[in-house]
Structures are given as structure tokens and as C-alpha cells.
């Protein structure tokens, strides 16, 4: 039996289990209990009149990358529905979406939920970030004649190889994409190989995302709590990295006793676990969610809250980007670079090779291979504030020069929206 037919039959048969699955995810903190209906395709707000632009990103990074497009569509008088699949992305989007845009959760990819969602929202066009393609949703959009665009499109070599094991299914799914705007030439080649019929290099939207905001009062209080202490941050850390961050802190603190290390885990629910690791090393630790701003006696500060990266990046001069000391592919360094932070990273940055290469070439970022190298790099920059500031300025200049993808993507998408207008959708 063909893979996609089997997938459709399986998702239809498993639909009755969606409720128990989502309730279990609520207990894990991975779903919003107040908005579970949205995961079944049930709208929790009224549809605005007229043509509706639908934009979707899987999680936090993908949806944030869509913000420049959201702004540009709203400037053209459109209403914009933005969907995502994670609690963290929903919380941040609800705080950062401009007037004229609103958030709903993406329904689970079961035929009944997909049909209910599309029957209600009736989007004029669907614009998905990166390569977030669910088979039932793609088929339903195709059946309704809704143009499907991949913006900021990216598919890793490993993912492309996995899709390659099912060439028929890949051609069906990627062949249903009306326009694929890849981040770069390498990604464009992979999408062509998977069967996307119309592929262009559109650039990386993440360069156009405005820096994360910070509440002025909270920022003032946070900086006041830090005072003149030397401080650095490890951001978006993952399992296996926090121990290395703490080892680096201990080594630096031998020469810089007043050091404050800020750890921002990628998944905030890991905050208590990181605090336990720090306490086991005899370090004084505080959680932002529990203890507020850092006290003078705190050595390790775990920022386990959502939507406060703008505060962190504006309060430190050095940022280590996580998911890079382990074999994870790295995290996006554009936001700290935009806000003038010197960037450090581990050897695993395959997910963001272009931006790390550009930052490295401008001497705005430096690679460290282990905890000892990280400690040396942080200590060196703390001891040479002029060097740290030069790195920060260079990074801000690099990401500014690389921006502009949103303008090109809007130009590429507008003919599809115009065609929808002609057809009277």
C-alpha cells in the first residue's frame, strides 16, 4: 500500500486517541489546557471578513522568522492568521503579534481536524516556514485549490535522505508546494531533488526579525541587580551542555570570583534540573521563575521564563549559543548579534552554517570545542571589554547587511495572492 494512503488511513483510525494523547501532553506541560479545542481544528475566535493570509511555523524559531512577513502583509491591509504547535511559541506570539494578526494552534494532522480547520478559516493562501509539511494538510489544501508556499525553506541533508527512502511520497508532498523559497542554494537543490516544482532562493527571514523586546522597567531592575558584576550568558542550552557550562563557570570563577553566569535553557521546564546540577557542584543558584532578579550571592542564575531573551541579551556582552557543544546542529545567533553581543558557539552548528560562517569571518563569533575552551574564551573577553564590544559591533553589522529577504518574499508571493483575488476566493 502506498505510504501516503497508509498514513491517511492510520491517522483516521487513530483519531479517537487524540483526546487522551493531548490530555497526557497537558500533564507534561506541552499543551495549553485552555486551548485544546484548537488542536481538534475548532476555532476559538471569529474569522475576520475578507481574504485571510495563513502563516504557519512549527515552533518558536520558525514562527518568529515569519514576523517580518506578518508586518508587511498587515501594511498591505491583510488579516493574518498565524499558527504554531508549541506552548512557548503561542505565548511569545500572543505578546509580539501586531494588530491585524492573531494566533491559533495548528490542528493535529487527522483528516477530520484538518477539514474542520480549513472549512472555518478558508485561507486565501498558506505560507509555511521551513519544511513543516503534514501530509493530510497538504492534500486538503491541494484539494481546495489553496496556494501553498514554503518561505524561509530549509531541509537538512539528513531529512532529505530520509524522505529519499519514500520517493513517491516525497514527490506527492513536495510536488504540491506551489512555490518554495529556499534559504540558500544548497537547500534549494535539496528541495528540487525532493520534487518541489518551482524553487527559488529567497534568503533567510531570520535576519529581518526585529530584536526581541524588553520591558524597560524589568530591564532596569535586572541590570541594577547585576550591578558591576562580570556576567555572561549561555542561551538555548540542551541536555548534556549545562554540565559543561557549569564546569566553565567554576574555572572562570577561580580568577573572577564575582562572576555571574546566566543559563537560559531551550526548554524552560529544565530549569529546576539545571539548578540541581549547580547545587551539586556547591554553587549558589537562583531560578528567575521562583526567585526574581539575581541576588549578589547568586553565582548561577537560571532564566527559566518565556519571552525575556531581549532582557538577557541587553544585559550581557557575551552569549554562548547552545545546542552546539552536543551534536545538535546549533541555535540561531542572529538575535544576540543584532543586540551587540559577542557570540561563542560549539562545533555543531550545521543548522545555521551560513550565519555562523559570516559572523566568524567578521570576527564577531568564535568557536569553542569544550568547557575548558569556553572558559578561556569567556575569561579573555571579560578581561578585554574593548575586544568584546568590537565583536558585538561587528556582529550587528553582519546581520544588518544580510537582511532584506522579507521584501523579496513578499514580491514573490504577491502574484499568488493576486490570482486568488481574480478567482474571487
Measured CA to CA, the distance from residue 328 to residue 348 in angstroms comes to: 6
State how far the alpha carbon of 328 is from the alpha carbons of 109, 130, 331, 345, in Å: 27, 18, 9, 12
Residues 6 or more apart whose CB falls under 8 angstroms from that of 52 comprise 78, 79, 80, 81, 121, 122, 123, 124
CA atoms within 13 A on the CB side of 281: 21
User: 371-383 and 385-401 are packed helices; what angle lies between their axes, rounded to 10 degrees?
Assistant: 100
Which residue of the set 62, 130, 132, 241 is catalytic? 62
Measured CA to CA, the distance from residue 268 to residue 289 in angstroms comes to: 10
Q: Which residues pair with 199 in a beta bridge?
A: 180
Task: Check if 62 is active-site.
Answer: yes
SS3 321: strand
SS3 35: helix
Closest CA to 48 of 77, 14, 68: 77
Closest CA to 88 of 113, 108, 63: 63
Which of the residues are catalytic? 62
Amino acid at each position: 500500500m502506498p505510504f501516503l494512503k497508509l498514513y491517511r488511513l492510520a491517522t483516521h483510525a487513530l483519531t479517537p486517541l487524540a483526546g487522551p494523547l493531548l490530555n497526557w501532553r497537558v500533564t507534561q506541560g506541552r499543551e495549553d489546557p485552555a486551548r485544546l479545542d484548537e488542536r481538534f481544528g475548532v476555532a476559538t475566535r471569529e474569522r475576520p471578513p475578507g481574504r485571510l493570509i495563513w502563516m504557519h511555523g512549527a515552533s518558536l524559531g520558525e514562527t518568529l522568522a515569519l514576523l517580518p512577513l506578518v508586518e508587511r502583509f498587515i501594511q498591505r491591509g491583510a488579516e493574518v492568521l498565524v499558527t504554531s504547535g508549541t506552548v512557548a511559541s503561542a505565548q511569545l506570539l500572543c505578546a509580539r503579534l501586531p494588530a491585524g494578526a492573531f494566533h491559533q494552534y495548528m490542528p493535529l494532522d487527522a483528516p477530520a481536524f484538518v477539514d474542520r480547520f480549513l472549512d472555518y478559516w478558508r485561507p486565501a493562501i498558506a505560507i509555511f516556514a521551513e519544511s513543516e509539511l503534514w501530509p493530510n494538510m497538504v492534500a486538503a489544501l491541494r484539494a481546495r485549490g489553496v496556494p501553498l508556499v514554503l518561505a524561509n525553506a530549509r531541509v537538512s541533508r539528513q531529512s532529505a535522505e530520509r524522505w529519499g527512502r519514500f520517493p513517491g511520497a516525497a514527490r506527492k508532498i513536495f510536488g504540491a508546494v506551489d512555490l518554495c523559497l529556499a534559504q540558500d542554494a544548497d537547500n534549494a537543490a535539496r528541495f528540487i531533488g525532493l520534487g518541489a516544482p518551482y524553487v527559488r532562493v529567497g534568503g533567510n527571514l531570520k535576519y529581518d526579525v526585529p530584536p526581541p523586546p524588553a520591558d524597560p522597567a524589568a530591564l532596569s531592575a535586572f541590570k541594577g541587580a547585576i550591578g558591576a558584576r562580570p556576567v555572561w550568558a549561555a542561551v538555548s542550552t540542551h541536555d548534556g551542555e549545562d554540565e559543561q557550562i557549569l564546569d566553565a563557570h567554576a574555572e572562570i570563577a577561580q580568577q573572577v570570583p564575582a562572576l555571574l553566569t546566566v543559563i537560559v535553557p531551550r526548554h524552560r521546564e529544565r530549569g529546576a534540573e539545571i539548578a540541581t546540577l549547580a547545587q551539586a557542584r556547591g554553587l549558589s543558584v537562583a531560578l528567575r521563575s521562583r526567585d526574581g532578579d539575581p541576588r549578589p550571592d547568586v553565582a548561577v542564575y537560571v532564566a527559566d521564563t518565556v519571552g525575556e531573551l531581549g532582557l538577557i541579551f541587553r544585559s550581557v556582552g557575551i552569549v554562548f549559543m547552545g545546542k552546539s557543544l552536543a551534536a545538535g546542529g546549533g541555535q540561531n545567533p542572529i538575535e544576540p548579534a543584532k543586540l551587540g553581543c559577542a557570540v561563542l558557539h560549539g562545533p555543531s552548528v550545521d543548522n545555521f552554517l551560513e550565519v555562523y560562517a559570516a559572523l566568524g569571518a567578521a570576527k564577531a563569533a568564535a568557536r569553542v570545542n569544550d568547557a575548558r575552551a569556553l572558559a578561556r574564551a569567556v575569561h579573555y573577553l571579560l578581561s578585554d571589554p574593548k575586544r568584546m564590544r568590537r565583536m558585538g559591533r561587528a556582529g550587528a553589522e553582519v546581520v544588518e547587511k544580510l537582511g532584506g529577504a522579507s521584501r523579496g518574499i513578499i514580491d514573490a508571493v504577491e502574484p499568488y495572492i493576486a490570482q486568488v483575488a481574480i478567482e474571487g476566493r
